Amino acid sequence: MKKYTVMGHPAELRIQVLGDTIEHVFMNAADAMADIMARDRYASVSSTERVSTKSVDRDAALVDFLNELLAQSHVERSVHIPESVVITEENKTVKVEAIMRRYLVRAFDEDIKAVTHQDVRIEHREGKWRTTLVFDI
């Protein structure tokens, strides 16, 4: 007789992100993360900031970009909404440069601890770019 059953993982949140371009996937992922963290995020704009990351490939670039935003969010108790994202690939490096609006929040609705590399695979299917993201909560 089996002595255990594997249940859904209560410490993660899984979402699918879509976009017309790869840049839209990055923007929509950042917006989704901000929405999950603080639904009333538009209450107090603090600043417009530039965020830049470098990674080994597109999938890692998305995770690194979101984790950079997440780290800043925890330090500043804020969320970041993208105005623009530019992705360049050269010499086996993917660089993400974004202009973000930073919104101060009173508290987080959901405390995301990290964005994981699990299941991240940016691909083009049925006319859309898409990927799955897993947040550790």
Annotate the chain with DSSP letters as a single string: ---------TTEEEEEEEESSHHHHHHHHHHHHHHHH-TTGGG-EEEEEEEEEEESSHHHHHHHHHHHHHHHHHHHTEEEEEEEEEEEEETTEEEEEEEEEEEE-SS-SS---EE--TT---EEETTEEEEEEEEE-
pLDDT over 70, % of the chain: 91
Percent of the chain with pLDDT over 90: 78
What are the angstrom distances between the C-alpha of 101 and each of 13, 48, 85, 120, 128?
24, 5, 12, 25, 26
How much is the pLDDT for 2?
Answer: 62
Q: What is the pLDDT of residue 43?
A: 67
pLDDT for 126 equals 93
- The β-bridge partners of 17 are 131
pLDDT of residue 11: 84
CA-to-CA dists, residue 38 to 41, 42, 100, 104, angstroms: 5, 9, 16, 10
Give the pLDDT score at 5. Answer: 54
Token code pair at residue 73: 């969010």
Name the stretches of the chain with pLDDT < 50: none
pLDDT computed for residue 3 by the predictor: 64
pLDDT for the residue 46? 76
Please tell me the predicted confidence (pLDDT) of residue 8: 60
CA 108 to mean position of chain CA atoms: 15
Residue 126 structure tokens? 């049925």
CATH topology of domain 12-136: Archease, Possible Chaperone; Chain: A; domain 1 (3.55.10)
